[in-house]
Chains A and B, each alone.
Chain A
Amino acid sequence: MEALRGVSLTVRGGEFVAVMGQNGAGKTTLVKLFNGLLKPTRGSVLVDGVDTREVSVARLSRRVGFVFQNPDHQLFCETVEEEVAFALRNFGLDQEAVRERVEWALSLLDLTRYREASPFMLSGGERKRVALASVLAWDPEVVILDEPTIGQDYGQKEKLRRFIRQIGAQGKTVIIVTHDIEFVADCAPRVVLMAEGRIVGDGGAREVLTDRALVERASLVLPQVTQIFLGLRDLGLPGDVINLRDAERAVLGLLGVGS
């Protein structure tokens, strides 16, 4: 059974892309092809012009960091600190460089106080942050996050959103696999919609997430604000509203008040 059927996709350096679709649509399969964890049966995957079938996963990993959906699938060290240092040591960085990168990553993900703790004593959300820290530590150009918002509360998601924007501003390419519509609506990235192993939609978040037929095809739901505004079409409000910022601006416009 084919998990992916004739998928063609180009992601440019520095882009922020959300791959969305029903569980089982092929999202995770697709992104696992980007760092060589999976190799294509037909066709090819080029990362920076290099065919993934011609390089090891270890080499690809230096440029393409992958954070699994279930952090427990990639955590195994005795302490958080060791977990974050692991790949750095494997890549041959010297002790000082390792220490520096570990401090940076721990601080970035607000994990410094857990440095001595066993990852398995932490909550699910915290373990996700440890997995993320351990991947970011070696500063890959591309960061792939598989369902990064699961188990995260509102505050953590806001932090994640700002964090993605921060590393995006540093030039990193960020790809997230998610079904969290509200989170994607808040980030408003490029959205690739998948259904049954195929790409069924690809465009800006405001374009894709407000297309009811497309959204339904991908077994998603419209963002809450979009749903609300659908019911307000008669008032002349815009149809491409997906998040609170858009909604507030639109409503202020209607009230004839400057924002």
Chain B
Amino acid sequence: MAVIAARGLTYTYPGREEPSLRNVSITVDKGEFVLLTGPSGCGKTTLCRCLNGLIPHFYGGRLEGDLAVAGLEVAEHPTSGLARHVGLVFQNPENQLFALSVEKDVAFGLENLGTPRERIRERVDWALKMAGIEDLRERAPHELSGGQQQRVAIASVLAMGPEVVVLDEPTSFLDPLGAQTIFEVIGGLNERLGVTVVLVEHRLDLASRYADRVIVMDGGTVVMEGDPRQVLASERARLVGVGVPKAVRLCRFLKERGVSLGGVPVTSAEASKLLEEALVTDRC
């Protein structure tokens, strides 16, 4: 069942001449974990903004084609209506948190939807738990580390109970350990709760192990999609300028020199194993 269905989606920002999205057609099924990547300016963020209706309702501009999220036509539903179904987490925690306490920040969306108090309390408790930040409930968001702040942003989106969570480079400002934690949280949400995830990322070395599918964009259009290992190992991905993880590049290097490998690694451990098998065999 498709929870995101885009067909021929084309979009031009107001005042611009060239479209930022050209004829994008993708479907994302319920429960999928999709990794969206591509060089700077390829349209990833623009596509994210379409998913919860910021485009066209907030940004204006010209949107053509069809886009339905959780069965709702995006062009026909205001962002407030879509917010129950799609949550969006942005790059910079500074731009997303504003309340005096974590609890208040997480509750905000639900308060705006007129949710009864008791229900808000339940949802906030649950969201804090899912994001692993129950101990931060009373803290002021601006005093937290970047990684903690991003988990608050994720919790505040989760509290609304969306079917889809879209994250646009959520670990940009985080250190490697912070980034790993975020990916673990997101992976957990997908695996245990069945939340559909669309993750925009450059850090493929850390994120690809969680993905069911990788979509590569370039110049406003989808140029490739498929199984993470296949996409990462492809010549196309390399040419487009995707940040192919070094583990994969090392394996390609060996392959080009006639050393065949048993697969494509998405973790360092897998790479070690594949390399060991290949190098030991080769020396015998």
Task: Considering the complex, give the chain A residue whose CB is closest to the CB of B268.
Answer: A227
Enumerate A169-221 residues with CB–CB distance to B below 8 Å: 179, 181-182, 219-221
Q: Is A257 an interface residue (CB 8 A)?
A: yes
- What is the 8 Å Cβ interface bit string for chain B, positions 154-176, against chain A (1 contact, 0 not)? 00000000000000010011111
Complex interface: chain B residues within 8 A of A224 (CB): 205, 245-247, 268
A232:B275 contact, CB within 8 angstroms: yes
Chain B residues closer than 8 Å to A156, beta-carbon distance: 40
In the assembled complex, A49 has its CB within 8 A of some CB on chain B: no
Cβ-closest chain A residue relative to B269: A231
Of B40, B174, B253, B268, which one neighbours A23 at CB under 8 angstroms?
B174
Interface residues on A, range: 35 or more
Residues of B268-283 at the interface with A, using a CB-CB cut-off of 8 Å, are 268-269, 271-273, 275-276, 279-280, 282-283
In the assembled complex, B257 has its CB within 8 A of some CB on chain A = yes
| CB < 8 Å neighbour of B39 from A151, A154, A227 | A154
How far apart sit A252 and B27, CA to CA, in the bound complex (Å)?
43
Q: Is A38 an interface residue (CB 8 A)?
A: no
Interface string of B185-227 (1 = CB under 8 A from A): 0000000000000000010010000000000000000000000
Q: B259 near A: Cβ within 8 Å?
A: yes
Bound together, the chains give a CA A154 to CA B282 distance in angstroms of: 32
Instruction: Name the residue in A23, A147, A154, A228 with the highest tally of chain B Cβ atoms < 10 Å from its Cβ.
Output: A228
Nearest-CB distance from B89 to chain A (Å)? 15
Does A2 count as interface, using CB distance less than 8 angstroms?
Answer: no
**Given A179-B176, A231-B273, A255-B259, also A247-B41 (CB < 8 A):** no
Given A125-B40, A156-B40, A224-B247, the answer on whether A255 and B272 have CB atoms closer than 8 Å is no
Closest to A185 in B: B246
- Shortest C-beta distance, B3 to chain A (Å), equals 28
Which residues on B sit within 8 Å (CB–CB) of A255?
257, 259, 279, 282-283
Is the pair A219, B39 in contact by a Cβ cutoff of 8 Å? no
In the complex, the answer to whether B177 meets A221 with C-beta atoms within 8 Å is: yes
* A24: chain B residues within 8 A (beta carbon): 145
Tell me the count of chain B residues lying within 8 A, CB to CB, of chain A: 46
B91 touches A151 (CB 8 A): yes
A-B contact count (CB 8 A): 113
Docked-complex contact A231 and B246, CB < 8 angstroms: no
A79 at the interface (CB under 8 A from B): no
**Nearest CB of A to B177, in Å:** 5
In chain B, positions 85-107 with a C-beta closer than 8 Å to chain A are: 91-92, 94
Q: How far is the CB of A36 from chain B (nearest CB, A)?
A: 25
Main secondary structure of the interface of A (DSSP, over half): helix
Query: Restricting to A85-138, which residues have a CB under 8 Å from any CB of B?
Result: 123-126
Report whether A221 and B91 are in contact in the complex, using a CB–CB cutoff of 8 Å: no
Separation in Å of the B103 CB from the closest CB of chain A?
Answer: 23
Q: Nearest CB to that of B16 among chain A residues?
A: A121
Nearest residue (CB) in B for A256 is B283
The reply to whether A225 and B40 form a contact with Cβ atoms under 8 Å apart is no
Establish whether residues A124 and B91, one from each chain, have CB atoms under 8 Å apart when the complex forms.
yes
Which residue of chain A is the closest to B177 with respect to CB atoms? A219
In the complex, what residues of A have CB within 8 A of residue B172's CB? 150-151
Bound-complex Cα distance A223 to B249 (A): 14
Q: How far is the CA of A221 from the CA of B173 in the complex (A)?
A: 16
The reply to whether the CB of A29 lies closer than 8 angstroms to some CB of chain B is no
Q: What are 16 inter-chain pairs, A to B, with CB distance below 8 A?
A: A23-B178, A70-B94, A147-B173, A150-B172, A150-B173, A151-B40, A179-B176, A181-B176, A182-B246, A225-B246, A227-B272, A229-B272, A231-B271, A235-B280, A251-B253, A255-B282
- Please report B residues at the A interface, Cβ cutoff 8 Å: 38-41, 45, 91-92, 94, 145-147, 169, 172-178, 180, 202, 205, 241-247, 249-250, 253-254, 257, 259, 268-269, 271-273, 275-276, 279-280, 282-283
Known: A179-B176, A255-B279. 20 other contacts (CB 8 A): A23-B145, A23-B146, A23-B175, A23-B178, A124-B91, A126-B40, A153-B39, A153-B241, A153-B243, A155-B40, A225-B246, A228-B250, A228-B268, A229-B272, A231-B269, A231-B273, A231-B276, A232-B276, A251-B253, A254-B283
